[in-house]
């Protein structure tokens, strides 16, 4: 891979990941046969893309290079990424642009609500970049977006995928009190890999954040996910499951890490479909209401269908 930096024109192009430009290439093994997706070229995909662009919105589907974008957008399912396209963190796995973000767009919550209405979404997923530059980490912007969707689409259920709000006292409470139906915050990897994979975060802070959501409102479903193939050991994945259950997390997702560029963390191993099935079975025995574990599992993949299953699983326990 070659990173091109324009040093001649009046407005030089800034590399997407300036902190990674001088890193040596990290080589991953060839993708196995079970990692295959179709190129997005359907009418539904085009319609979704047009609605996203017409409303000036950013999606994590595009920014993070999600392998499921063709399938999801064909069904008019999109995960909106609020607060801009530039993240203040530089995680080793993530393809979202890094740097100093611009000011918040005060009209963005209404634009997200309008796109939700136009797409006819029964269940919408809202995520964001990390905004360590903001006093509340963007918590009030999340809350405003939730309220705007409720006003425009009162029957739509809302799932949020938030940053960790590290050192942002009171931020989590602002978001939780806006009452999303699902509160998702991903651990991303096992504790031993944090300094390499997610250096700006703190594992036990993230566990506590998920636990705190349940303390504020036990009716909110909580959700978290990790990637595998980053050098973790099986026993570490099982320990993450136990830590999440200690925080009363309802839903666990496990997917294969895929390297965005050679400047990102290498894939250390491709986990087989059988191993994913094994993780899923173990997770259910530990008490999760829902588990999704497969090579192409991502946080918001099939989120609407999974929300219905979550509701059914909770109702079955209450009988």
Q: Which of 69, 142, 71 is nearest to 109 (CA)?
A: 142
| Class of residue 242 by CB neighbours under 10 A (exposed 0-12, middle 13-18, buried 19+) | exposed
Please name which of 229, 250, 226 lies closest in space to residue 240, comparing C-alpha atoms.
Answer: 226
Q: What is the DSSP annotation of 186-232?
A: --BS-GGGHHHH-TT--HHHHHHHHHHHHHH-TTSEEEEEEEESSS-
Residue 49, SS3?
helix
Please, which residues bridge with residue 123 across strands? 157
Secondary structure letter of residue 22 according to DSSP:
T
Tallying the residues shown for the chain, one arrives at 319
Q: Which helix (H) or strand (E) holds 290?
A: strand 290-293
Nearest to 74 by CA among 22, 113, 107, 119: 119
- What phi, psi does 162 have (nearest 5°)? -105, 160
Residue 94 labelled as part of a binding site: yes
Structure tokens at 129: 């970049």
Question: Is 153 labeled as ligand-binding?
Answer: no
Task: State the Cα–Cα distance between residues 142 and 133, nearest whole angstrom.
Answer: 15
- What span, in angstroms and rounded, lies between the C-alpha atoms of 170 and 215? 14
Residue 188, Ramachandran bin (φ over 0: left; ψ between -120 and 50: alpha; else beta): left
d(CA 259, CA 315): 39
Point out the annotated binding site.
61, 66, 72, 87, 91, 94, 300
Point out the annotated binding site for [4Fe-4S] cluster.
61, 66, 72, 87, 91, 94, 300
């Amino acid at each position: 891979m070659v990173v091109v930096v324009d040093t001649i024109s009046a407005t030089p192009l800034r590399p997407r990941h300036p902190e990674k430009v001088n890193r040596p290439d990290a080589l991953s093994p060839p993708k196995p046969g079970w990692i295959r997706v179709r190129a997005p070229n359907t009418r539904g995909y085009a319609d979704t893309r047009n609605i996203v662009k017409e409303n000036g919105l950013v999606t994590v589907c595009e920014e993070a290079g999600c392998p499921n974008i063709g399938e999801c957008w064909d069904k008019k399912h999109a995960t909106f990424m609020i607060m801009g396209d530039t993240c203040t963190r530089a995680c080793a796995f993530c393809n979202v642009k890094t740097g100093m973000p611009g000011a918040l767009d005060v009209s963005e919550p209404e634009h997200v609500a309008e796109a939700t209405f136009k797409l006819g979404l029964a269940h919408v997923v809202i995520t964001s970049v990390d905004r360590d530059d903001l006093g509340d980490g963007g918590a009030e912007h999340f809350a405003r977006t939730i309220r705007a969707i409720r006003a425009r689409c009162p029957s739509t259920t809302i799932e949020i995928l938030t940053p960790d709000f590290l050192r942002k006292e009171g931020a989590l409470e602002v978001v939780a009190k806006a009452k999303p139906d699902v509160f998702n915050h991903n651990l991303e990897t096992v504790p031993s890999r944090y300094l390499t994979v997610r250096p700006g975060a703190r594992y036990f802070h993230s566990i506590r954040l998920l636990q705190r959501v349940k303390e504020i409102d036990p009716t909110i479903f909580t959700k978290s996910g990790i990637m595998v193939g980053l050098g973790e050991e099986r026993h570490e994945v099982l320990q993450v499951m136990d830590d999440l259950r200690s925080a009363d997390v309802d839903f666990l997702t496990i997917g294969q890490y895929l390297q965005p560029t050679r400047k990102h963390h290498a894939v250390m191993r491709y986990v087989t479909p059988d191993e994913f099935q094994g993780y899923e079975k173990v997770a259910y025995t530990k008490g999760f209401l829902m588990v999704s574990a497969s090579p192409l599992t991502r946080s918001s993949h099939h989120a609407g269908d999974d929300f219905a299953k979550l509701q059914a699983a909770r109702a079955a326990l209450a009988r």
